[in-house]
Amino acid sequence: MQMFRISRLATVVMVTGALSIIPLAALAFSMFHISALGRFTEIISDTIATKQGGVLILGDSIALQSGLPPACASRSLNVSVGGIGALRASIVARFVVPIAKPSRAIVAIGVNDVGGFRTISDELFRSRYHALLDSTGASLYALSAILPVETDKITIVDPARIATTNRFIREEARRRSVHYIAPPANVRGLTTDGLHLNAAGHQMWQKRIEPFCSAL
């Protein structure tokens, strides 16, 4: 299976000779697990196939699993990756943005950096987040807050740190004159494990971003 995925990747790179191998290699080796190569290949294929000038959604597993609102699907490119943080997301953006040339970019990143799984310092997160936003260029349109968690289902994630990080994201949106997509008051009954969303949670997430991706 991995050989098949690598073969697909090589085929895409050869067919699209104008693409630089350097950002592709950087993205591949930055992924923390070999299984991410399948998603990496999908991102390349989707980016090449998508019409330029649409909406770019760059997030983690929550954005990936939730999918796109029907009103946004035809003109949107979801390049979200499960488990991704700001550092790897900036590598994705540096590859995708010059090719897709999105008219809008919506960034929904943060919980994997500050949520307690492989937590980094606030200073390092902010530095990486700034670099991520810079990599989207003039297309940056909206920043999504990190969703709250169900604390009775998950204890590794610190709600206080999520709240602090969301204040930073909100201020960054204000500073860059882009939209801030506020979090819901809670996600009670909307998750499978306290963090990842169930079917009702996916609908909630889509409703949050629909106003920012539906009207071009």
Q: Which tens digit of pLDDT belongs to each residue from 71-94? A: 998 889 999 999 999 999 999 999
The answer on 67 and 8 residing in a single domain is: no
Q: Which tens digit of pLDDT belongs to each residue from 86-120? A: 999 999 999 999 999 999 999 999 999 998 777 89
One-letter-per-residue 3-state SS of 118-178: CCCCHHHHHHHHHHHHHHCHHHEEEEECCCCCCCCCCCCCCHHHHHHHHHHHHHHHHHCCC
pTM of the model: 0.85
Give the structural domain span for 22. 1-49
Q: Which tens digit of pLDDT belongs to each residue from 3-39? A: 444 454 444 444 444 444 455 555 555 554 556 678 8
The answer on 199 and 142 residing in a single domain is: yes
Compute the distance between CA of residue 181 and CA of residue 110 in angstroms, rounded to an integer.
13
The answer on 60 and 43 residing in a single domain is: no
The answer on 138 and 32 residing in a single domain is: no
Beta bridge partners of 108: 59
- Amino acid symbol at 129: Y
The answer on 72 and 117 residing in a single domain is: yes
The answer on 63 and 127 residing in a single domain is: yes
